[in-house]
Each structure stands twice: as C-alpha cells, then as structure tokens.
Amino acid sequence: MSGLWAIIRKEWKSYFVTPAAYVVLALFAVIAGFFFYSMLAYYVMSSMGGGMFGGGGNLDIHSMLLQPLFFDIGITLLFLLPMVTMRLYAEENRSGTMELLKTAPVRRMEVVLGKFLAALGLLLVLLLFVFGYVLVIWHYAHPHPGWAALGGAFLGLLLLGSVYLSLGLFISSLTRSQVVAGVSTFSVFLLLWVADWVTAYDNGGFAHIIAYLSLTTHLTNFVQGVLDLKDVVYYLSLIFAGLFLTARRMELAE
C-alpha cells in the first residue's frame, strides 16, 4: 500500500507542476459555467412563457435543466480528460523515467492504480464545480430536485469519467508521444459516445450490439435518475478492462 500512495502523491503533485491541471480546471470551469448559465436562462424564460417553445407554468426542472446539463458535462469531460491521461504513460516512456518505475519496489498494478486514482482525484475536483451549480438550483428551486435522482446523475458522471481515465491510461501506455496519445484517446471516446447512432439506419442485431457499447446509452438512465445494474456493470467492466490492459502492457514492455 505504501507504494500505491507514493505513486498517487507523485502523480498528484506532477499535475500542478505543469500547466496541464490548471488548464483543464480553467477550461472546465468556463465551459461548465457557460452551459449552466445558458440552460438556467432558458429555463427561466420558458417558465415565464418566453422560451423558444413558449409555455410557462410549472416546468420540470430536472428534465429541462439538470438532465441536459449533466449530458453536456459528460461531453465536456470527453474533450478535456484526454489532456489528463495523455501524459500518464507517454511522458514516462518519452523521458525514460519508466525504467525507474520498473526498478522501483512497487508492483505493476500499484503503479497503474496509483496513476488512475490520482487522475480520479482530479476528476472529483472537476465534479465539485458541477455540484456547486446543482446546490444553487436545489436552494432556489421549489419543489427541490430529488437527491436520489441527483445522486444517480453524479454517479453516472463519476463512472463515465472513470471509464475515460482507465481507457486513456491504456492508450497512453501504447506510445511515447503525448500528442498521439491525446488524439487517439479523444477519437476512441468520440466513437464510443456516438456508437448508438448506428440504430438510426440499421435495426439488425449487430447494430444493437454496437449501440449497447455506446457511452450515451448507459448515461441516459443515470441522468434520468434510474439506477440500472446493467449500466453499472457496463461502466465497471470498461474501467476494469482499461486497467487490466494497462497492467498487461507494462508487463509485456519489460
């Protein structure tokens, strides 16, 4: 366990030695803040009868404001988390410090988990911004949004972000170039995000298998406040696969 905590501390400190963490935090704060402001303004206008669709009356704040916000946060993480994962192994491979890790008295899985958990800590900091926005909504909205539904949505974002991190960690272990790792990671994330589009023009069995692999398909239930075991298993399976493949990659590189 001491080796695991040493890796976590090393990676966490390294985030704030370079501009990467500050850039990710700043970009996320600006983008998430813009989404929140825009959706809140639209909701207020709609409730007063001045929205795009007119209306007014008692509008459901969860479906009109919070669900789109959570989805947009998921997309924002898709763009920004490759900036976090692209350096985790690619920089070690490029600079030669990977050889030091191989000779250090830590197990390979401790290195993998340490890097993953350090990145997960940064993800939790990002989600704190979103939690702040939700607290504002909960304070002023009447009736208050249900905490069960909000908890499910945050769990979905946490699992989604963890999938991004574990897969990004594996992709980073395959190359020495941070640019290649970042672009490859984003491309994989984007394909997984839009995989369910295939059902728009194909209703065959294979198309439904591809759609099942879509990150969007499984995030929908979480955002709607529905906790389905198959969605949890899907995300946990991808997280485990990413970490396992990274560990295997390290063993094969020795």
In the chain, the number of structural domains is 1
Least Cα distance to 185 among 113, 117, 86 occurs for: 86
pLDDT band at 26 (very low <50, low <70, confident <90, very high): very high
**Domain membership of residue 84 as a residue range:** 2-253
pLDDT score at 154:
93
What would the pLDDT profile of 116-171 be if each residue is shown by its tens digit? 999 999 999 999 999 999 888 887 777 777 778 889 899 999 999 999 999 999 99
3-class SS of residue 230: helix
pLDDT score at 33:
92
What would the pLDDT profile of 36-89 be if each residue is shown by its tens digit? 999 888 888 877 765 444 444 557 787 888 889 999 999 999 999 999 998 887
**Does an H or E element contain 152, and which?**
helix 147-172
What would the pLDDT profile of 76-106 be if each residue is shown by its tens digit? 999 999 999 988 877 666 665 655 555 555 6
**∠ CA(204), CA(207), CA(210), 5° rounding?**
155
To the nearest 10 degrees (0 to 180), the angle between helices 67-85 and 215-223 is: 130
What would the pLDDT profile of 1-12 be if each residue is shown by its tens digit? 667 888 888 888
Per this entry, what is the length of the chain?
254
pLDDT score at 228:
87
- Residue 87 phi/psi, 5-degree rounding, is -95, -10
